Structure 1
Amino acid sequence: MRIPVPVHRLPCPVDEARGLAASEVLERRARYGRNDVLTRSRRSALQTLRESAADPMLWFLVCASTLYFVLGELSEGVVLLVAMAPLLGMDAFLHHRTQASTEGLQSRLAARATVLREGGEQDVPAEDVVVGDLVRVEAGWHFPADGLVVRGEALQAEESSLTGESLPVRKRPLGRLPTGQEPLVEGPHWGMAGTRLLTGTAWVRVVFTGPDTLYGSIARSAARGEHARTPLQQAVAHLVAVLLGVAGVLCTVLAFVRWRQGFGWMDALLSAATLGVAAIPEEFPVALTFFLGAGVYRLARRQALVRRAVSVENIGRVTCICSDKTGTLTEGRLRLARLLPAPDVTPDALLRTAALASREEGRDPLDAALLEAAARALPAGARGRTEATFPFTEERQRETAVVVDGAGGLLAAVKGAPERVLRLCALEPGARAEWERRVSALAGEGSKVIACASQVLDSGSWRGGEPERGFRFLGLAAFEDPVRQGVPEAVRECHEAGLRTVMVTGDHPDTALAVARRLGLGGAWPTVLTGDELQARLHDGGQVPRVDVVARAMPAQKYALVMALKRQGEVVAATGDGVNDVPALQAADVGIAMGERGTRGAREASSIVLLDDDFGTLVRAIAEGRQLFGNLRRCFMYLLLIHIPLVTTAALLPLAGYPLLYLPIHIVWLELIIHPTAMLAFQAAAHPGRLGTVRSRRQGPARFFSPAQWLTLALVGGLMTVGLVWSYDRSLGAGRDVEHGRAVALAALTLASASFAAVLTRLRTRPARWICAVSLGASVLLIQVRPLASLVGLHPLHVDDWARVVVGVAVALVPLVLPLRQAPPARPSPRRRAYGCGRLDGGR
């Protein structure tokens, strides 16, 4: 990472330790602004309510519920009003979440800073730091702004939440600024806002403050994050609008025609009202809300907390996963993986020496891993008393400790960079070359490698200095960030299901490549690009190249990758746990944060939080989302299949001069069957270990139904309509027995409802079997038991009537059953990156 330095922002050469005068502070604050990284405007409750009220689905529910109240259907009106609550709550939550995400970023910022002004040190609020200030940062403090490190020794910074780098980052003072108006300076010379100094004391010349810092750009991205309506919401809204428009036209035409036919105003209004109740598609938004709520509950049982209900649908359409490495695919901590002792050296002796050269206080992750391993493997009291320590510095690249060993003797233990430690030891050229080869091999596997050596000192002649030669080489210690348990299996399942998976990390390419191989990501030869290489290719061609791993990735590059994938038609899920992941989490179709290790900023910016930080949970969540999408598709198909003949016959028969086919009580009866069937029968759960399939956006715009499915709907609905008209006409007979004809029509619709549900669900769930059986049984009793039938204006049917009903429904079912029987079992190809979802059962 190289960052340009605007030279005009520096008050003096970088090698001058001069602070600012009071007048310079005021002038620079006026020019560059305050150090307010998280400047934001609060949204009033009235403004949030006004923006939520712009949702057309909300106004549809208001109009539909009002109409039901006017018609006297109080229960229906109340149900629709209650359905408004989750929609309003969801919108308000989304507005609140954008604000809360920026508040979560605050935890990584310094509250106060020590600056050099007017010739002395001053403690000021971090917001008062200005461009050009010289700031002192102690170990454990956060950097208050972005600046150049100009003084300090043995500096290490923790930048995992900003860059994704899991290991401490060495920082070096910048001795001289390169020439040019905006020279490029390497990352090790920068102290960044939102990161923390681990060791040493650093003096930093501030170059960028407030929104100009890298952290500030992340905060702005979180604050302006927008969440567009999903294709499912758009499809449902469009379908509802079309059906509502058709219903309005039909009601008006029917009322006018019945009045012109001489049936009177009362018949005309009753006809229009009955048709309106039958045709208003209130089940669709209610079903959407209900199914999303069920999906939220199911994902919670799978350890995935859904923060935005529509993400349950989005996760089911995911075709690509951009996953953070540290803390997501790996555990996010160093672990001693291997000890390679020299000949005649035991592993315990090597481990003890490495632990002796490690610090208990202010230890970095490598020291922590060594001391943890030593505590498990070595007996208590093996450490001894420390006489002197010589800490790690960037120039020396080693750490030495002199301890009392055994019966009062002294032992010098050293650990550090292998090339530096080998220079301290007397080794044969062949042996030295062999150890250097081993170091290269371990580094190529993605391990962090240190070497250890020791030397016995004469307590009488030792004068307190650090020994520079005469060490005995003891061996190597290799460390790694372990892969999370179960992640390789989850990655393999994604690959077999055709889900594109890209690992994005701030680590070195060799380290990232080694982790990818352990995960099985990209096969035997994963394709690795650095963030700069990816950015250059995106700039040149605009297309995302074939890539399995993006290493040395900056937040802006991860964000650019997500946006480029979306432009190519991928439905992107981005995972992460740090502040550096916030832009990508906001931009992705589904942002997924880790619940255990994730920062508050990442959790608030995401739409789903994995409570157990398990990548396998993400795979199961995708399977559940895809199953939910299939369930909802089948539910909506059922609603259309039953409503097409219902609405068509309710309109056409009165228009043709026939008596009204349905009375309001009949419509209520049918709705009491349709509603429970739609809500309960289509709640099949995902099969463990199997990912369903959805249509990729690369194959065209997302549609809720394919053309073939629309054709099936038209054929089945048309056949049912013809069958109803024919049965009604035959049942009227010469005596125009309207009650008999209505009984035939209602028996046909009830049988059709149970049959459609049985075919679409295949009666796999207990609720589906119960709903179908109860609706059929109740309808037969209501029609065939004369006292009950007379209450609802019907006459019991004869055997030949039931035969006509069964034949008519069976004929209408043919176009629905044949595609299911002819479709081959869906077997995903590992080569495919996206899927179709033409089958009504989702390929199960």
Structure 2
Amino acid sequence: MWFTRSVEDVLQQFNVNPAIGLSEAEAKQRLATYGPNRLKGKKKKSILELFVAQLQDWLIYVLFAAVLITLFMGEYIDAIIILVVIILNAVLGVAQEIKAGNAIEALQKIASPKALVRRDGVVKEIDSEVVVPGDVLILDTGRYVAADLRLVETANMQVEESALTGESVPSSKDAGCILNDPQTPLGDRTNAAFMSTLVTYGRGEGIAVATGMQTEVGKIANIIDTETVTATPLELRLDELGKTIGKLAIGICLLIFGVTMWQGRDLAQMFLLSVSLAVASIPEGLAAIVAIVLSIGVTNMSRRNAIIRRLPAVETLGSVNIICSDKTGTLTQNKMTVQKYFTLEGEVAVEREKQNQATETGKLLAKAMILCSDATHENGEGTGDPTEIALLLLGDDLGLDRKAMQANHKRIGEYAFDSERKLMSTLVEEEGELTVYTKGAIDNLLRIATHVLENGRPVPLTDHHKKQFSEITDHMSDEALRTLGIAYRPVDAVIDAAEMEKDLILLGLVGMIDPPRLEVKSSVELAKCAGITSVMITGDHKHTAFAIAHMLGIAETIDQAITGQEIDELNEAEFAAKINDYRVYARVSPEHKVKIVRTLKAHGNIVSMTGDGVNDAPSLNAADIGVAMGITGTDVAKGASDMILTDDNFATIVSAIEQGRNIYNNIKKAVIFLLTCNLGEVIAMFITLLLGWEAPLIATQLLWINLMTDSLPAIALGMDTGDPDVMKEKPRDPKESFFANGAGGRAIAGGILIGGLTIFAFWYGYYEHGYTPFDKNVPAEVLKNARTLAFMTLVACQLYYALAMRNAVKSIFQVGLFSNLYLIGAIALGLLLQLVIIGVPFTQQAFNLHMLDRNGWLMVLVLGVVPLLLNELYKLYLRLRQA
């Protein structure tokens, strides 16, 4: 049992030096030996299982019944065609499911937890799956433990282990403790940390002693599959819509069957026709198209730095009207930069990535900042707090050799930072001499320091000195600079933490700023044009927060800023009445964030909230869209979020909203197109049979048309290029009907038009040979000609009509005729397949068609473009009316 052994024994067992860690070569070898550090998931379905699952649908059962009936009737070609349709539908479904599964796996890999490890003497962040036994893991607040560890170093460290022990109170950890009882319960193993638990306070280091299924959580989980596939609200609505339309279609088909039976037609043929019409009229492709469009859209969003963890978030994105954003790293570059420092020698400006001249006092200040830090920065990559990284880079800018300094200085004690003291202290040994370095809030340092460095030597700290430091602090704060003071103290012997922060010698302070991201200002303006209000919520000071917000166009006056303390002074009614007046919330706690989000939602707003820390999880859960930071975000924040930003950029949120709106619009286009086409088929069949005519389309033709329009054109519409003007529209009401803004009327009008043109083409097929559909004893070739005209016209109308569906107001030339090559390709392929069917003797006979004459082709060409032309004229009318 690792917890019963000393740290030295564990290190010897795994043959690892904690100061260096494993080498990359050794880690690779151990990964091959022990396997990936992950729990076994549910076995993936085979392609055969996926294929069989696609056949388990009541519509498919109806088609199988139709196959048996046609075989019994001796219509073998019809039976083969229906079977081909069934198989093609199933193959398309399997392909879509595999594609969606691959997309989800890719997203899971991107969003997987990370682990900080020390390898080859360098601290780096790696995927938790490649952690191996013997790895040295570095733990900090808000990070999930990536493997079972024997702790080798702890500093005020606490771990929340309720997932394993059921204890809601975090467990304190002590690396130096050795437990003698091998039966010690998990909750009492104070020198160990376990996979999937969460560090809630302090920091530590540990050696990985077990990974994957060998961990404690692995032992109690034979199969863990935390990701369950659930239908989104949109998919559920469309599924219900499909069922409703299906019931109506079946009702119409039963009516048709009843009417044709009363008319004395061939019952077997009419039954097959009715079944085929029912299948053709039910948009069973809705759910599949929504799934594939969502998966493609989400994958594309991930390429643009927005990982959607929950598909319903895509729908909600289109309705967001308030973005609550953290300041640091999201609105700013998350690259704290020291712009100036101050000692009693004066204020000195610092230019980043340039060699700056510095006095000995300035270099001592930078040295103290470096040695009182837990951050690292190597080869352009840093770990730790951005403020501390900025202080390391200050040393680089002042010409200090950090590597040599860290090699010659050994930390032998520390007093970790906490929010009450707002200080951090380290005890460092250099060539036998001991020095305490303390950094933190300048106000706190002024209270505990007794001396100040002046002209290279310590002198007593006077009120005049304190006034100088207070004035320069206020001056820097007015420039939106964050200030941080530093002090030191030589000591003769090792002292405990409580003694470190006494009799300090004040060195000076630095002024830092996290500059605004250059692209954020334009994104804030774009969001404003889209009816979206941007709000800053930060723990920073009020004036600093407002200064950044004002630069970015989020706030106009200081009256639009409020602090957490000021929120507490308002009762709920007063706060609710004033909340729309505020654009900046400063010095807020996690409770304040939740209160802000809930109050905004109570006003009917759809709220997006960003966060990166453990304490942000409640507000991320409370928001309609919780957005976690992918770079600086803790694992718990990512776990509570709906979306993860891989670049921690506010502009990405606005971009994701734009993409979310376009994805929803694309789904809507595809659905309205499907309903329009299916309605046209039903109308053409219902009206002609009601009039006592022959059916304008036979069963196999209906099934073919259904396969054509329910697949490639609809999916291509779902993959349409985004409308560049979508952010000029107001946010969509989440309760808005799917057929709002005239979409329902367009579907009905389009269906009636396509159905009417199909009926006219059927009539013309009789007319050009001197007959009418009302005539009896019409030659078979005339009927075949009429059906061929109806068949070709219906498909042409639907394919060309897809072009008109790309935008409800803009013409096809405004959106770009060739800007959606998928749709152009789908239309071209559809027309080519139609020519193949009518031109190849075998398929011509199978579908009961014949080659059209010149007039017939002219009629198909003219009638096919009528829906597109009329739709374009209607859109022209709408544009003129809006002008």
Specify the TM-score bucket, using the shorter chain as the normaliser: 0.5 to 0.7
Selected match of 2:747 from 709, 713, 729: 713
Structural mapping, 1:265-276, within 5 Å: 265-276=267-278
Selected match of 2:830 from 752, 775, 779: 775
Selected match of 1:642 from 656, 659, 677: 677
Contact in 2 for aligned 1:323/1:503 (Cα 8 Å): yes
Q: Secondary structure of 1:793's match?
A: coil
Selected match of 1:562 from 573, 597, 605: 597
Selected match of 1:360 from 366, 371, 374: 371
Contact in 2 for aligned 1:317/1:694 (Cα 8 Å): no
Range with bigger deviation, 243-252 or 377-386: 377-386
1:375-399: per-residue Cα shift (whole Å, max 9, x none)? 4423449979999999999899898
In structure 2, do the counterparts of structure 1 residues 625 and 696 end up closer, same or farther at CA, with 3 Å as the change threshold? closer
Range with bigger deviation, 666-675 or 433-442: 433-442
The residue number in structure 2 matching 1:663 is 698
In structure 2, do the counterparts of structure 1 residues 409 and 657 end up closer, same or farther at CA, with 3 Å as the change threshold? closer
Range with bigger deviation, 628-637 or 791-800: 791-800
In structure 2, do the counterparts of structure 1 residues 644 and 429 end up closer, same or farther at CA, with 3 Å as the change threshold? same
Q: Does 1:448 align with 2:482?
A: yes
1:509-535: per-residue Cα shift (whole Å, max 9, x none)? 334333423444224657223346557
In structure 2, do the counterparts of structure 1 residues 257 and 397 end up closer, same or farther at CA, with 3 Å as the change threshold? closer
In structure 2, do the counterparts of structure 1 residues 492 and 111 end up closer, same or farther at CA, with 3 Å as the change threshold? farther
**Amino acid in structure 2 at the alignment position of 1:195:** Y
2:534 and 2:293 map into 1 onto residues whose CA distance is 28
Number of residue-to-residue matches in the alignment: 682
Contact in 2 for aligned 1:573/1:592 (Cα 8 Å): yes
Q: Does 1:348 align with 2:350?
A: no
Contact in 1 for aligned 2:532/2:731 (Cα 8 Å): no
Selected match of 2:655 from 620, 626, 634: 620
In structure 2, do the counterparts of structure 1 residues 495 and 359 end up closer, same or farther at CA, with 3 Å as the change threshold? same
The residue number in structure 2 matching 1:319 is 321
The residue number in structure 2 matching 1:23 is none
Q: Does 1:756 align with 2:767?
A: no
The residue number in structure 1 matching 2:848 is 793
Range with bigger deviation, 103-112 or 679-688: 103-112
Selected match of 1:609 from 628, 632, 644: 644
2:671 and 2:254 map into 1 onto residues whose CA distance is 26
Selected match of 2:716 from 680, 690, 696: 680
- What stretches of structure 2 of length at least 5 have no aligned partner? 1-40, 46-52, 68-81, 114-127, 129-141, 152-158, 178-197, 205-225, 349-356, 376-384, 453-458, 492-498, 807-811
Residue 654 of structure 1 deviates from its aligned partner by 1.8
Structural mapping, 1:432-511, within 5 Å: 436-450=470-484, 476-484=509-517, 486-511=519-544
Contact in 1 for aligned 2:429/2:435 (Cα 8 Å): yes
2:258 and 2:634 map into 1 onto residues whose CA distance is 64
Residue 756 of structure 1 deviates from its aligned partner by 0.7
Range with bigger deviation, 79-88 or 766-775: 79-88
1:209-267: per-residue Cα shift (whole Å, max 9, x none)? xxxxxxxxxxxxxxx99999755334413321221111121121122221121114213
Contact in 2 for aligned 1:251/1:272 (Cα 8 Å): yes
Residue 559 of structure 1 deviates from its aligned partner by 3.3
The one of the two structures with greater contact order (alpha-carbon pairs below 8 A, sep at least 6) is 1
The residue number in structure 2 matching 1:194 is 200
Residue 435 of structure 1 deviates from its aligned partner by 5.4
**Amino acid in structure 1 at the alignment position of 2:786:** G
Q: Secondary structure of 2:395's match?
A: helix
Q: Does 1:596 align with 2:631?
A: yes
Residue 685 of structure 1 deviates from its aligned partner by 3.1
1:590 and 1:124 map into 2 onto residues whose CA distance is 26
Contact in 2 for aligned 1:291/1:632 (Cα 8 Å): yes
Residue 427 of structure 1 deviates from its aligned partner by 10
Selected match of 2:786 from 728, 741, 757: 741
2:592 and 2:636 map into 1 onto residues whose CA distance is 19
Contact in 1 for aligned 2:530/2:730 (Cα 8 Å): no
2:544 and 2:828 map into 1 onto residues whose CA distance is 60
1:537 and 1:819 map into 2 onto residues whose CA distance is 54
Selected match of 2:547 from 514, 525, 528: 514
Contact in 1 for aligned 2:530/2:729 (Cα 8 Å): no
In structure 2, do the counterparts of structure 1 residues 337 and 362 end up closer, same or farther at CA, with 3 Å as the change threshold? closer
The residue number in structure 2 matching 1:546 is 581
In structure 2, do the counterparts of structure 1 residues 81 and 352 end up closer, same or farther at CA, with 3 Å as the change threshold? same
In structure 2, do the counterparts of structure 1 residues 377 and 527 end up closer, same or farther at CA, with 3 Å as the change threshold? same
Contact in 1 for aligned 2:250/2:278 (Cα 8 Å): yes
Q: Secondary structure of 2:317's match?
A: helix
Selected match of 1:238 from 240, 244, 247: 240
1:513 and 1:225 map into 2 onto residues whose CA distance is 41
1:88-143: per-residue Cα shift (whole Å, max 9, x none)? 989x99xx99xx99x99864999999xxxxxxxxx999999999999898999xxx
Selected match of 1:69 from 45, 64, 68: 64
The residue number in structure 2 matching 1:252 is 254
The residue number in structure 1 matching 2:299 is 297
Structural mapping, 1:66-465, within 5 Å: 66-72=61-67, 73-78=82-87, 83=93, 86=97, 107=145, 194-196=200-202, 232-330=234-332, 334-340=336-342, 348-349=358-359, 350-358=361-369, 360=371, 369-380=390-401, 417=442, 419-420=446-447, 424=452, 436-450=470-484
The residue number in structure 2 matching 1:832 is none
Aligned sequence identity (%): 24
1:367 and 1:299 map into 2 onto residues whose CA distance is 32
1:383 and 1:672 map into 2 onto residues whose CA distance is 72
**Amino acid in structure 1 at the alignment position of 2:316:** N
In structure 2, do the counterparts of structure 1 residues 581 and 627 end up closer, same or farther at CA, with 3 Å as the change threshold? same
**Amino acid in structure 2 at the alignment position of 1:640:** L
**Amino acid in structure 1 at the alignment position of 2:683:** T
1:43-87: per-residue Cα shift (whole Å, max 9, x none)? x999xx9xxxxxxxx999722233233333345545666748959
Q: Secondary structure of 1:281's match?
A: coil
Contact in 1 for aligned 2:669/2:717 (Cα 8 Å): no
Q: Considering only aligned residues, what root-mean-square deviation do their CA atoms show, in Å? A: 5.6
- What stretches of structure 1 of length at least 5 have no aligned partner? 1-43, 50-57, 114-122, 141-191, 199-223, 458-463, 827-838
**Amino acid in structure 2 at the alignment position of 1:605:** A
Residue 443 of structure 1 deviates from its aligned partner by 2.4
Range with bigger deviation, 538-547 or 383-392: 383-392
Range with bigger deviation, 80-89 or 535-544: 80-89
In structure 2, do the counterparts of structure 1 residues 409 and 725 end up closer, same or farther at CA, with 3 Å as the change threshold? closer
2:316 and 2:236 map into 1 onto residues whose CA distance is 13
Residue 295 of structure 1 deviates from its aligned partner by 0.8
Q: Secondary structure of 1:768's match?
A: helix
| TM-score where L is the length of structure 1 | 0.66
2:470 and 2:405 map into 1 onto residues whose CA distance is 29
Q: Does 1:528 align with 2:561?
A: yes
In structure 2, do the counterparts of structure 1 residues 137 and 410 end up closer, same or farther at CA, with 3 Å as the change threshold? closer
**Amino acid in structure 1 at the alignment position of 2:721:** A
2:324 and 2:539 map into 1 onto residues whose CA distance is 13
In structure 2, do the counterparts of structure 1 residues 799 and 383 end up closer, same or farther at CA, with 3 Å as the change threshold? closer
In structure 2, do the counterparts of structure 1 residues 413 and 588 end up closer, same or farther at CA, with 3 Å as the change threshold? closer
Contact in 1 for aligned 2:273/2:699 (Cα 8 Å): no
In structure 2, do the counterparts of structure 1 residues 481 and 45 end up closer, same or farther at CA, with 3 Å as the change threshold? same
Selected match of 2:875 from 810, 820, 823: 820
In structure 2, do the counterparts of structure 1 residues 608 and 139 end up closer, same or farther at CA, with 3 Å as the change threshold? farther
**Amino acid in structure 2 at the alignment position of 1:240:** G
Range with bigger deviation, 269-278 or 395-404: 395-404
Q: Secondary structure of 1:195's match?
A: strand
1:799-824: per-residue Cα shift (whole Å, max 9, x none)? 44445445545554455223432455
2:722 and 2:399 map into 1 onto residues whose CA distance is 49
